[in-house]
Amino acid sequence: MNTINKAEQVEQVYDEAAFEHNTHSEGCYSLAVHAALELGGVEVQNDCDYECGRTFEFDDSSSIYISCGG
């Protein structure tokens, strides 16, 4: 059985939105942040004042950095 961790699930949300709209945009970023929160991610870093990025950690020991630029 091939399962993916929560960070990879968030990455899929971002990538699917980027593919659908053929761009890395604020909308893709927003969808990924929403997915991270829905999956129980805890925000451990917020760089929105500098480069629009956030780091989330999950209870499955995975983590992801989400940025507006991809």
Long-range contacts of 31-38 (CB under 8 A, 24+ apart): 32/66, 33/66, 35/9, 35/10, 36/6, 36/10, 36/64, 36/66
Q: What is the pLDDT of residue 48?
A: 65
pTM to 2 decimals?
Answer: 0.83
Q: What is the pLDDT of residue 25?
A: 73
Name the residue with higher pLDDT: 1 or 53.
53
CA 11, CA 33: separation in Å to the nearest integer? 10
Reported as a single tens digit per residue, the pLDDT across 58-67 is 999 999 999 8
Which residues sit opposite 57 in a β-bridge?
A: 42, 63
- Asked if residues 8 and 62 have their Cβ atoms less than 8 Å apart, the reply is yes
Q: What is the pLDDT of residue 46?
A: 80
| The two structure tokens encoding residue 46 | 């917020």
